[in-house]
Chain A
C-alpha cells in the first residue's frame, strides 16, 4: 500500500532536515516506521517514542498493528496528555 506520511514543522526540522512529506509503501504502521527509519536511521525510535499518529484524521496511539489503506494520509503528531 502506498501512503503519504507527513510531519509537523518542528519534528521535520529536528529529524528530517526540514522535509515534511514522504510517500512510503507499507501494509501497516510498523512498515511505515521501518521505511522512515531506512531513510533516516534512528528516526523509527523517535516516532515510536514521541508521537501519536493520525491516519486519515483518526487519531491513534503509535502502534505497529495499525493497518494502512492505499492512498491514506498519515500524520505523526506530538504525543498528548490529558487531565
Chain B
C-alpha cells in the first residue's frame, strides 16, 4: 500500500533536542499570563454562585463609581446573535448560545457562569469592584445528572428547546438538545445469530482537561477600531474568528498573537475571556489582562462530558462478533454540543462487525459547557464497548487480544458512518502486544491484566506555512499552529529533510494571525499531518527557487539543475562541469540572483489516516482499601511515520496518564445546590508521579501514503483505551466488574462488599 521506508530519511525519525526546551526550563517562555504592556488594566469576571437562576437585574453603579475602575461590562454590552446553528452538524455553532456562555443574559445556567466583568488599575480594585455589583437572582431548580436531566419532569434549562434529530419533532420541550443515530446492517438479525450476548450499563464522570496553565489573555482596542489580542490557545485564528463574530467586528480588525501554551488537550479551542477583555479594552481605552484562577478554570471552562450508556454485543462461539448496539447519553453542559456523535461513530470502529446500531443523545444540564478533550467522545463509548468485549472474551474462553485480532477492522472494512476503512494499522497494534514478552508474565494475588483498544479519526484541513532563507544559510519556518505537542521540532525536521540541510540551521516559530496564512486549530491530531504538508510544500518551493538561482549562476536551464543533499548539482555531465553549490552559498548570493529567498504554502490537507491504539495494563487491588495500583502499562499505537519519535512517545505516555486519572480518580463532584465541591487540584485528583508506572510506548509504524513522510496523527487515540483496560484488569484481579468511573477506592471497596464475584 505504501513504499515509504522510514530508514531512508536523514532527519525524519531522529530525536533532536526540543527547540522550546531552554526557554521553558529557564522560566523565560511567555505564557498567556506573562504578557504585559504599558497601562494594562486588570480584568475580573464576576460569576454566578447559583447552578440555575434567572437574572432579574444587574446594578453595576457602585462598581463603576469605585475609584480605579475603568470599565464594567455585562451581557447588555455584547451584541446579541440570531438563534441558528451554523456550520456542520457535529461542530455546528450557535452564536446565540456562545454569546450567552461568554456572558449570561436571561439566566445563569451553572455555578461559575460569567455574569459581569470589570477592568481596574489593580487586581484588588477589580476584585472589590466585582463584589460591588448587585445582581437580583431568582434561584431555579437545577439538574446535574444526565439521566435526571432527560426525565420529563426535569427542570428545563431552555423552556423552548425542542429535540433536534427526531421526526416528527417532539411537541414538548426538554433538555435533550439532539438525537443522532447510525446503522450498519440489521442489528436485530445479527443478535439472532449470536451464541453469547452481553449487555450492560455504564456511567462516566465529567473530567477536566486539567491543563496546568489557566486561560489568560491581554486585549487592546485602539481608537481606530483595530484590536490586538495576546492569548494562550490551541488556535489563534479561531480566537480571532470567534471574537470578531461575537463582537460584530471585521476579522481583519483583530490581530491575535499566540502565547506559549501550558497544555490544552482540546479545552483551548474556544473563547471565554478574549471577547470580554476586548470589550473592556474598548470601553476603557486601555489594554486589559484577564487570567482565570484555578477555581474558575474548573467551574467555567469546559470539562468533557460525563455520560450514561448501554452497550450490547453478540458473538459466535468461535469469537466472531456478529452484532453490536450502543445507546449513549452525554452531558453537554449548559449549552448543546457534547461529543456524542463522535462516540457513536467511534464506538465499534476498531472492529469488522456486520451489524451495528448506535444512538446518541446530547443533553443540557447545569454544568459548564463541555469542551473538546483528546479524541472527544471516543474514550467514553470505548469504556462501555471494550468492557463488554472483555466480558465476552472471558465467557467464551478466548484471549482478549485474540478476540480483537479475529475481528480487527482492516482496509476495506465497512464503517458505521458509511465508507470503508481506508487504512490498516489496527491489527498491527494487536500483534505488537501479542508478541510482547510482558503479556505472558504470571501475576500474583489480587493482580490482574486488562486489554482494550481504541479508534480515532485524526484530522487534516487548512494550514499555512512560510519558509525564509537567511543570508547565512539559516532558515526560519513560520506556521500558524500553536505548538502543544512538539510541532516546532517536527516542522523543522520535515523542512530539513526536504531542503537537505542540517536541522540545527532551522528555527521554527508560530506566527501571529497577520503574519502567516489561515491555519485551523491545533487539535484533532492534525498538525504534523496538515501543517507538515504546508511546510513540505513551502520547502519544495524554496528548493525550486534555489535550483533556479543556481541555473542563473551557471547560465544553464533550470531543468539542468537537480537538488541533492542540500546542494544544487548539474543534472548530468551534459549540463556542464560545475562544482555542487551548497545551500549556504546560494543563500549568500540572494541579492545577486534575485533578492530574498522565501516561499509560502497553504493546504487543505486530505487523506488523513485514522489512529488505532491497543493497550494492556497490570494492576494490583488492595482488598483492604480498594486502592488500585497500576503495575505496568504497555501502549501500542499506529503512528504512521514517527517524525520525532520522542514526542510521539510523549504523546502516548501523556494520553495514558490522563486516561489513568479518568479511570481511577478524576470526577466533578457537586453538592446538593449544584455547586462544584472540588474545584482545585487538592480535591480534583489528577495522577501524580507516584501513581504512575513506567508507561511503555510501542510505536507501530504503518506510514500514511497521503503524507510526504508518512505521518499520521498521534495525539489523541492513546487516551481511548485506558479506562476500559484498567476496568478489565480490575475484573481479572478481583472478579468484580466496575461499570462506573472513576473506579476510586470507595467504589472498588463497595464492589468487593457487594454480591457475588462474576
Contacts and interface: CB of A to CB of B under 8 A. Distances in A.
Nearest to A65: B604
A80 B90 contact: yes
A83 B88 contact: no
A17 interface: no
Given A57-B411, A78-B90, A82-B375, A10 B165 contact: yes
Given A80-B459, A83-B372, A83-B374, A75 B419 contact: yes
A78 B181 CA distance: 12
Given A9-B183, A10-B180, A79 B372 contact: no
Interface string B451-479: 00000111111100000000000000000
Contact of B88 (A60, A75, A78): A78
A55 B668 CA distance: 41
Nearest 7 A-B pairs (CB), nearest first?
A82-B524, A83-B266, A60-B606, A57-B422, A79-B88, A54-B419, A75-B418
A73 interface: yes
Interface in B417-473: 417-423, 456-462
A6 interface: yes
A18 to B, nearest CB: 11
27 contacts: A8-B182, A9-B181, A51-B88, A52-B88, A57-B411, A58-B423, A58-B609, A59-B422, A59-B608, A60-B608, A61-B460, A61-B461, A61-B462, A73-B420, A78-B88, A78-B89, A79-B87, A79-B88, A79-B90, A80-B345, A80-B524, A81-B339, A82-B459, A83-B209, A83-B372, A83-B375, A83-B524
B525 interface: yes
A50 B459 CA distance: 15
A49 B88 CA distance: 6
A69 interface: no
B419 A73 contact: yes
Given A13-B167, A58-B607, A82-B372, A77 B417 contact: yes
Given A79-B91, A80-B459, A82-B523, A57 B266 contact: no
A4 B4 CA distance: 30
Nearest to A79: B88
B182 A63 contact: no
Interface of B: 87-91, 165, 167, 180-183, 209, 265-267, 269, 339, 341-342, 345, 372-376, 411-412, 417-423, 456-462, 523-526, 604-610, 706, 713, 716
B90 to A, nearest CB: 5
Contacts of B90: 78-81
Contacts of A58: 422-423, 606-607, 609, 706
Interface string A1-20: 00000111110010000000
Contacts of B165: 10
Given A61-B604, A75-B419, A80 B181 contact: no
A60 B609 CA distance: 10
Given A50-B87, A82-B523, A10 B181 contact: yes
Given A82-B372, A83-B373, A57 B91 contact: no
Contacts of B91: 79-81
A66 B606 contact: yes
Most buried by B among A52, A58, A80: A80
A54 B418 contact: yes
Given A50-B89, A57-B411, A83-B523, 7 more contacts: A49-B87, A57-B421, A59-B606, A59-B610, A82-B526, A83-B266, A83-B375
Interface of A: 6-10, 13, 49-52, 54, 56-61, 63, 65-66, 73, 75-83
A6 B606 contact: no
A44 to B, nearest CB: 15
Contacts of B419: 6, 54, 57, 59, 73, 75, 77
B523 A78 contact: no
A48 B120 CA distance: 45
Given A82-B526, A83-B375, A50 B422 contact: no
Contacts of A8: 182, 417-418
B706 A78 contact: no
B265 A83 contact: yes
A61 B109 CA distance: 35
Given A10-B165, A51-B88, A82 B376 contact: yes
A7 B459 CA distance: 20
A57 B417 CA distance: 11
A61 B167 CA distance: 29
Contacts of B372: 81-83
B347 to A, nearest CB: 14
Nearest to B87: A49
B196 to A, nearest CB: 28
B303 to A, nearest CB: 12
Nearest to B704: A58
A63 B420 CA distance: 20
A7 B419 CA distance: 9
B375 to A, nearest CB: 6
A57 to B, nearest CB: 3
**Most chain A CB within a 10 A radius of its CB, from B418, B525, B605, B713:** B418
Given A59-B607, A73-B420, A75-B418, A82 B525 contact: yes
B524 A81 contact: yes
A40 B545 CA distance: 47
A57 B89 CA distance: 21
A59 to B, nearest CB: 6
A78 B341 CA distance: 9
A38 to B, nearest CB: 22
B93 to A, nearest CB: 11
A49 to B, nearest CB: 6
Contacts of B181: 9-10
Contact of A54 (B167, B209, B412, B422): B422
B605 A61 contact: yes
A51 B91 CA distance: 10
A80 B376 CA distance: 10
A63 B265 CA distance: 27
A82 to B, nearest CB: 2
A80 to B, nearest CB: 5
B420 A57 contact: yes
Contact of B418 (A49, A50, A77, A82): A77
Contacts of B167: 13
Nearest to A78: B90
Contacts of A56: 420, 422
Contacts of A75: 417-419
B602 to A, nearest CB: 12
Nearest to A6: B418
Contacts of A77: 417-419
Contacts of B180: 10
A60 B209 CA distance: 28
